[in-house]
Structure 1
Amino acid sequence: MKTIAIIGSCDTKYREICYMRELIEAQGVKALVIDVATGPDPSKGYDISREEVAESAGVSWQDMESKSKGEKISFMTEAVAGYVEKIYQERKVDGIVSAGGLQNTVMATAAMQRLPIGVPKVMATTVASGRKTFESIVADKDIVTIPSICDFTGLNLVTRQIIANACAACVGMVKNAGKPLEKGKKIVVGVTLMGVTNVGACAAVDELERLGIEAIGFHTTGVGGAIMEKMAEDGLINGILDLTTHEITQEYFKGGFSYGEDAKYRLVKGVQKKVPLVISVGGLDFIDFCVDEFPERMDERVYMMHNANTAHIKLLPDEAEITTQRFVDRVNKIDYPVKLLIPTDGMRHNTRKGEELYYHEVDEIILGKIKNITNPNVEIITIPGNLDTKEWGIQAAHHMIDELKERGVIGEEVSYK
């Protein structure tokens, strides 16, 4: 029988958890309730006690009782994540569901994040509303997140329906689809893109697919590139066509639409695994910010509105010096052969002469620093034209094919000539 783990505090959320068990088991799926309560009141209705979770991490719960609430939450977050990872590897659970506020969300999603992409994970949470971001909830995993609408203070007309939907979603996935991603026989290439490089990147995807390669597009707006890097690290991707490295620029500003903490993994995890790599400079020349969060010196800046709320802002020359050096520093650490593609007429759309984000001095600074990369493992290749064009994207795909051949991933029989 399939089993779904329910993670929750079996003291304050006992009624909600009992209801979740009832709903899941009514659908012919076993429920395994894991208690993560940290308060002084006794828990009930669990299958796995908090004491057992703590002991699995090598600590007696009695030793935790004198700790502060924050210390208990921090400990239980790591402990339950490790416990769930262990029982998943032992094939004792097939999915996870949880419902709660911030404390429960932090602990439950930490456990969910330990499981592979494809394994059903559903979190109904008070955190998924307002100006909060989803980064802390989903990280680089496929956690289905449902706004709770109201707080979980018992069962009422709202919480009953939200919980029912969350449980039905998890049961449906466990019964009909949910399983970890598995690498098939086809060669898989990750391709990075965003709206401003979409034409070129999609042309590359189409060309790779025409040549028998399975291409996966990753949207580089704070997390997409990091997810691609993690999949490469996990052996799910055979090659990376990193056309859009914009997240590395945005990382320097510690904010904006495309900022994400996991940008630190860009050009890192895939490189550590020595995955065949073709790099380019898509979006290195701009940042994106909402109108109420504009950076300083806007009176000096060239920018255009991307939509009613967000502007695309060209870097200033001094910023281009700094952010490009960060890119160069990562490229200089690569210790195996890769290709670096440079366009001659813009790193995204709207950047050619006469267009809104044309700023020749900034482009020259960026490309000048990149052309001076001294790493002997990096082959610098210039492709005429703008990166965000069909012709440019097709040529980039051909260089990816060349790289895969040179690394022995595919044979010479694959030909784009």
Structure 2
Amino acid sequence: MTVVIVGTVDTKGEEIGFARDVLEAEGVEVHVVDTGVMGEPSFEPDTSADAVARAADTTLESLREDADRGRSMGAMSEGAAAVVERLHETGDLDGVLGLGGSGNTSIATTAMRALPVGVPKLMVSTMASGDVEPYVGAKDVTLMYSVADIEGLNRLSQRVIANAALAMVGMVTNEPDVEISDAPTIGMTMFGVTTPCVQTAREYLEEQGYETIVFHATGTGGTAMENLIRQGVIDGVLDVTTTEWADEFVGGVLNAGPDRLDAAAETGTPQVVSTGALDMVNFGPRESVPDEFEGREFHIHNPQVTLMRTTPEENAEIGEIIAEKLSAATGPTALFLPLEGVSMIDVEGEDFHDPEADAALFDALRTGLGENVERIELETDVNDDEFALAMAKKLDEYMRETGRA
């Protein structure tokens, strides 16, 4: 087994060397990738900093001459990602360990995110106690807070780095004792307010012999599903909860970016899509909601999550976007509309019940959908068993028609 350590051997050589020694003492081979730009490495790495720079179509000499930290970080991030991808492809990488402050955390986690889900990835970082989304993204990157800065060895840093190294030993030398299914895989999206729909659909699909993976539609969840569709891990999509487009369009905190809904369309993956939770935009605690939204209708989901009702105007434009995305699909695609409510709190008697806003969404979708998209409307809410089973059965039909079942 080989652990690749990604770090700046010019400034953190002592600490990287210590981690290497712990790993090798446990019988694990080590490959050090040097991402340092400032000076000469304190020991000879297995992949030099110049080789990393060349992997990003530049040279270490050029980066030093420019003395532009931003350019250097970008180049070494790109180069490190290319290096670890190549090592993984050749079977010379079983896990990645990173050590560093903000600079190498950015570089090393960029490299980690270039690897498939399931490859062990552990970053010891001074940044691990703050906002880690930029480092983790939609991949299974593990972050360990270094507590003190990674600057020299002492009783604290030695213990933290040794723990990280031993954790990597455990991850790369122990094969999980789990049965890997070869059943076709269905990706599903869920929010708390669409949970009953997803649970009913999931149970039905699993009874038909599918494996299901449910993604929490919190921005990174949708992004992760899109990535796995492109990687071929997901064979069919039951996209119940497209709420991330409300955050993307209005300005909430759980957006998945402008490429959400593109992967299945471009790869021809069978997809059945609905409008789950498009009645809401997500923010943090109530006091965190931007002033520009004062006067809007809010629902306190919990002390950390504030929901804001989408307006008819916003829903109309969101509907246009989703219709355009689905109309570009190259594979079998259906859109299901729950005419009595798109979430638990959009049904009659609940806080976000707004027939006018829902009608604006549905009308925009009806108008914008191409002939390639099958549209199915039911006089139920999204969480009704009838609705959930109809979606699941339609996807099962598509999977069988395309030979993916």
Q: Could you say if the C-alpha distance between residues 182 and 54 of structure 1 is closer, same or farther in structure 2, counting changes exceeding 3 Å?
A: farther
* Contact 2:101 2:126 (C-alpha < 8 Å) held by counterparts: yes
One-letter amino acid matched to 2:368: I
Distance, in Å, in 2 between the alignment partners of 1:248 and 1:350 is: 18
Does residue 1:402 correspond to 2:397, yes or no? Answer: yes
* Contact 1:339 1:403 (C-alpha < 8 Å) held by counterparts: no
Distance, in Å, in 1 between the alignment partners of 2:395 and 2:39 is: 58
* Contact 1:346 1:386 (C-alpha < 8 Å) held by counterparts: yes
SS, match of residue 346 in structure 2 = coil
Distance, in Å, in 2 between the alignment partners of 1:297 and 1:123 is: 38
Does residue 1:385 correspond to 2:380, yes or no? Answer: yes
| Residue 228 of structure 1, CA deviation | 1.1
* Contact 1:324 1:370 (C-alpha < 8 Å) held by counterparts: yes
Distance, in Å, in 2 between the alignment partners of 1:299 and 1:94 is: 51
Which residue of 2 is the match for residue 82 of structure 1?
A: 82
Structure 2 unaligned spans of 5+: none
One-letter amino acid matched to 2:147: I
Does residue 1:186 correspond to 2:183, yes or no? Answer: yes
Which residue of 2 is the match for residue 156 of structure 1?
A: 154
Distance, in Å, in 1 between the alignment partners of 2:260 and 2:299 is: 26
| Residue 37 of structure 1, CA deviation | 0.7
Does residue 1:305 correspond to 2:303, yes or no? Answer: no
Does residue 1:265 correspond to 2:263, yes or no? Answer: no
* Contact 2:78 2:110 (C-alpha < 8 Å) held by counterparts: yes
Distance, in Å, in 1 between the alignment partners of 2:176 and 2:37 is: 31
Distance, in Å, in 2 between the alignment partners of 1:85 and 1:15 is: 26
| Residue 202 of structure 1, CA deviation | 1.2
Does residue 1:372 correspond to 2:354, yes or no? Answer: no
Q: Could you say if the C-alpha distance between residues 190 and 374 of structure 1 is closer, same or farther in structure 2, counting changes exceeding 3 Å?
A: closer
Partner residue of 1:201 out of 198, 203, 208: 198
Structure 1 unaligned spans of 5+: 411-417
SS, match of residue 51 in structure 1 = helix
Which residue of 1 is the match for residue 37 of structure 2?
A: 38
Distance, in Å, in 1 between the alignment partners of 2:179 and 2:225 is: 15
| Residue 58 of structure 1, CA deviation | 4.5
* Contact 1:200 1:391 (C-alpha < 8 Å) held by counterparts: no
Which residue of 2 is the match for residue 12 of structure 1?
A: 11
Partner residue of 1:284 out of 268, 278, 283: 278
Which residue of 2 is the match for residue 343 of structure 1?
A: 338
One-letter amino acid matched to 2:85: E
Over aligned residue pairs, what C-alpha RMSD do you find?
2.1
Deviates more, 1:149-158 or 1:228-237: 149-158
Distance, in Å, in 1 between the alignment partners of 2:101 and 2:176 is: 26
Which residue of 1 is the match for residue 269 of structure 2?
A: 275
TM-score, structure 2 normalization: 0.94
Distance, in Å, in 2 between the alignment partners of 1:373 and 1:36 is: 49
Listed one character per residue, the Cα deviations across residues 178-219 of structure 1 (whole Å, up to 9, x for unaligned) are 79x998531111111111111111111111111111111011
Alignment of structure 1 residues 39-188 onto 2, 5 Å: 39-68=38-67, 69-130=69-130, 132=131, 134-177=132-175, 184-188=181-185
| Residue 176 of structure 1, CA deviation | 0.7
SS, match of residue 306 in structure 1 = strand
Which residue of 2 is the match for residue 235 of structure 1?
A: 232
| Residue 300 of structure 1, CA deviation | 3.6
Deviates more, 1:303-312 or 1:236-245: 303-312
Q: Could you say if the C-alpha distance between residues 292 and 165 of structure 1 is closer, same or farther in structure 2, counting changes exceeding 3 Å?
A: farther
Listed one character per residue, the Cα deviations across residues 192-249 of structure 1 (whole Å, up to 9, x for unaligned) are 1111111111111111111111111011101111211211111111100000011111
Partner residue of 2:311 out of 300, 311, 316: 316
Runs of 4+ in 1 over 4 A off after TM superposition: 181-184, 296-299
SS, match of residue 212 in structure 1 = coil
TM-score, structure 1 normalization: 0.91
